[in-house]
Structure 1
């Protein structure tokens, strides 16, 4: 190991030419010292990487304080930084303590663990949504730098603003993520984990529009077929239960056998998102799914209808399986449309259905050009824009299309206010189409057409 002691060979006036000519050590790290700035040193590693640092004894203890890499940092910049550090030492401060404190500082990911354990899991019905939002939108590089890995002091308003802006395509989710991080920092300040101002303060949220997407009548057969062919049976049954009950995702994920009364065909949810209890009548379709689940979990020591391998004991994030189901449904729609127009010589329907079932993404890519040649568009059969929460809206929409009154729909979905149910009065186009057909036919009859 090279020695930290100085000698005539490793102590000189730092210049670009002298630094650039320094040899690369075969082992360890070589240190060189500047004759102009007290304590300024340069380390050279076996890869040739050079970095400036301050080497001083502070209160009798030798300390190395990183300044920055060369040549990213110029010699003059390194000397100025050294002067600042020396001034702090002269005032009886130890700059190394700041670096050590920063290394020991809680990261945003560590704060989320505390937040979930001490607040979210205890007080929020939507605590599972917090896990999903943090995992998919904060502890990831999808929207830029991974904020979860940063110390709290480095999660600045500027970084959060940029992160929020990159999520503009999903404004509602972006707002929920921002609200989650803001709540986390509020608790961090309250619990003395963080000193300073909440960095989320002042960041403008996106305008939100009520989502109206649901599974359309022509999509329902494809969705059910895609679910029947889903390899993950637990997630398949979870999605079918969500569809047939209209319950919120978090409630279905945590569904327990003790709350299901098969004889009465009822499911009791002790506390829903709006803070109230709900008893859901179980239609026969849901009963059949639950009977299948009873057989699947037989012999397992679990209270959950949809058990999972994690610490929670139940499945937490079925997004991958949901993505497969939607891709399968899209591919099947495209294949059916092509089959109605293409000649048998250029299109083998049975083989295409098998491919769509097992390799949906590749099927969509493979047949897109053929579809266009027949005047068909993938967008017309696209189901990958559906969200899991749209299954809840789907039940409400299909109830509305069947003539169910809005108060009954509100009761079925456990809406707290009538306004939440009003959307279902305008989602289904069937009644509107029938009325328009009747009106236009009357117009044509008036002319004698």
Structure 2
């Protein structure tokens, strides 16, 4: 096999592999251009030059995909770049080692877990559902226009609020890469991009909606769904805390549910009063399912029930109620407490608000007025729903179905 020849399609096609040996043949027309033939018969163009005393092999591409003319033009450019002081081979090595967006997210997750970031699960969901198009891209390839377009598309498709959360996540990830990982030369393509204007949400269950809501809840065949919604309404707790409620956190004798700081936004324990209606729901669950482990056990990897979106939509459709979210149940309890004349400070203590200024006020409050406030609020809800003032709840139906 010749060491040098004038490259043509026919001559390259005629090159035969040599068993156990990789063969190199140079082009007579373009200095530095060669073709390498592996023992398996694969053929690829390379530019071979000495850079700072070291021979560098810069792969141009497969000979079946790259034309001879393109290989010569590319080689000429590489030779000129080397003459100007640039090492294309080193640039390729750096490029190959550069983080992808997926790599950055993995490092960020490790850091968040070390800091016990409460919203990590939501961020992981947003990454999984909305950022897979960026996952395999090198960080330097992700452009500002691409992030702007993503935000715009999500604003229309999934809503302005979610689009803002995804944009904020991208911005946080790149800031983490720049400030914490010290990635050289990295810029943030999401920096300065305008968020959607978010209107403050004040949706609650209104008194006139309560009878329909409770009728629909009573007709729900899935006891997990029914109890979850009822406890969310009667405790005013965040939906993630209700889903992850354990029997170890419940004290029926003291009528309290203590949410540990590890699950709380402010990282302090939250004592939630359990009203008579809430206790009846929990007692019925304890009798039906036992009082061990999760209050709402599930078959998934979390071990407990996950947000029952289908069940919630089924309930709203049955009740004929629109634009109501699970989180609005938390706001509904507070609204009925305010309607009943309960002070904002007392409400804030039971809801576990984390504002430092208001926490200082809540800390001086005894638990008794808070428990009284929860009873007043849930009584007002049950009265509006047409349920007896004794706060009796609709008996649970037998049987279990998936939410």
TM-score by length of 2: 0.64
Assess if the C-alpha contact under 8 Å between 1:121 and 1:127 holds in 2: no
Cα pair distance change 1:299/1:206, threshold 3 Å: closer
Assess if the C-alpha contact under 8 Å between 1:40 and 1:52 holds in 2: no
Query: Which structure 2 residues correspond to residues 13-412 of structure 1 after superposition, within 5 A?
Result: 37-38=30-31, 54-56=46-48, 59-60=54-55, 62-66=57-61, 80-90=73-83, 94-119=87-112, 122-138=115-131, 140=132, 146-169=133-156, 170-192=159-181, 194-195=183-184, 196-215=186-205, 216-217=209-210, 219-221=212-214, 224-225=217-218, 227-229=220-222, 233=224, 237-271=227-261, 272-274=264-266, 276-291=268-283, 294=286, 304-306=294-296, 313-315=302-304, 318-319=306-307, 321-322=308-309, 324-329=310-315, 331-332=317-318, 381=320, 383=322, 385-400=323-338, 403-405=340-342, 407=344, 408-412=346-350
Assess if the C-alpha contact under 8 Å between 1:11 and 1:34 holds in 2: yes
Cα pair distance change 1:65/1:295, threshold 3 Å: farther
Distance in 1, Cα, partners of 2:103 & 2:285? 36
Q: 1:392 Cα deviation (Å)?
A: 1.8
Q: 1:209 Cα deviation (Å)?
A: 0.3
Distance in 2, Cα, partners of 1:277 & 1:409? 16
Cα pair distance change 1:331/1:241, threshold 3 Å: closer
Q: 1:56 Cα deviation (Å)?
A: 3.2
How many residues get paired?
332
- Measured against aligned partners, the alpha-carbon deviations of 1:53-104 in whole angstroms (never above 9, x if no partner) come to 6443664464424499969xx9877655443323334467543443344343
Distance in 2, Cα, partners of 1:240 & 1:109? 40
Show the counterpart of 1:341: none
Q: 1:265 Cα deviation (Å)?
A: 1.5
Which structure has the higher relative contact order (CA within 8 Å, separation 6+)? Answer: 2
Cα pair distance change 1:251/1:328, threshold 3 Å: closer
Cα pair distance change 1:389/1:60, threshold 3 Å: same
Distance in 1, Cα, partners of 2:25 & 2:321? 64
Distance in 2, Cα, partners of 1:218 & 1:6? 90
TM-score by length of 1: 0.58
Distance in 2, Cα, partners of 1:295 & 1:68? 73
Distance in 2, Cα, partners of 1:120 & 1:68? 47
Q: 1:168 Cα deviation (Å)?
A: 2.0
Cα pair distance change 1:155/1:391, threshold 3 Å: farther
Q: 1:247 Cα deviation (Å)?
A: 1.2
Show the counterpart of 1:28: none
Structure 1 residue 11 and structure 2 residue 3: aligned?
no
Distance in 2, Cα, partners of 1:246 & 1:77? 67
